[in-house]
Amino acid sequence: MKNFSYRFGVIRGLGVTLSHFFQTYITDIKKGRKHYGTVEGIEDRRQADTDGIFTIQYPEERLPLPEEFRVLPFLVYDDGENGEKILRCTACGICAKVCPPQCIWINRAADPVTGKPSPHPADFNIDMDICMNCGFCAEYCPFDAIKMDHDFELSSLDRGETHLYNLEKLMKSATYYASIHPTAAALEDAARAEKAKPKA
């Protein structure tokens, strides 16, 4: 065994911890009450020059979610004039084909008169236990119909068929989409308006 004096190593190590400990008080006194529980306080604790307490007191405090954050897909519908929900989905099946774990099942609707396939989903199922949150479906959807959600607090008391989301459970309004993805929604709306113009 080498003849090292371990005392100083231990003391210095404890010193590091202690300095971290006291730093939290110094920062707290400097920043005052607004350092906790407020949006500015949380933002301040995430900056590169932060010191003192680093953690966020979830669930009382929440980290702001970036716009690109992605958990579980949902289907976007537009509100019609009479309050009906118009799904953007055309049941083209690209999301089902590109899905890496193959967790999307789409049943394309048929025209009741002719029996020919019509561009609407009769049924749309996503198994949320299988979904790996990769975001491919949203990325490759040509109609901006399927998008990634921000709601990550998904615990439930039982697993199984409650995690198999059907069309009804998947539908969320375009207003909701615009509220969680403001920049992307504005860009897409502009692009769609541009596309619709020459036709009109």
Q: Which spans of this chain sit near another protein (rule: CB under 8 A)?
A: 1-2, 4-6, 8-10, 12-13, 16-17, 20, 46-49, 54, 66, 68-70, 91, 93-94, 96-100, 102, 104-108, 117, 123, 125, 127, 130, 132-136, 139-140, 148, 160-161, 164
Q: How far is the CB of 178 from another protein (least distance, A)?
A: 17
Instruction: At 160, give phi and psi (nearest 5°).
Output: 110, -135
Which residue lies nearer to another protein by CB, 56 or 178? Answer: 56
List the beta bridge partners of residue 87: 77
Burial class (CB in 10 A: 0-12, 13-18, 19+), 178: middle
Which residue lies nearer to another protein by CB, 69 or 176? Answer: 69
Q: How far is the CB of 76 from another protein (least distance, A)?
A: 17
Which residue lies nearer to another protein by CB, 41 or 135? Answer: 135
Q: Which two tokens stand for residue 85?
A: 């929900």
**What letter would DSSP give residue 66?**
P
Q: Which of 72, 124, 141 is nearest to 101 (CA)?
A: 72
Which residue lies nearer to another protein by CB, 82 or 156? Answer: 156
Q: How far is the CB of 115 from another protein (least distance, A)?
A: 13
Given the DSSP bridges, would you call strands 71-79 and 171-173 parallel, antiparallel or unpaired? parallel
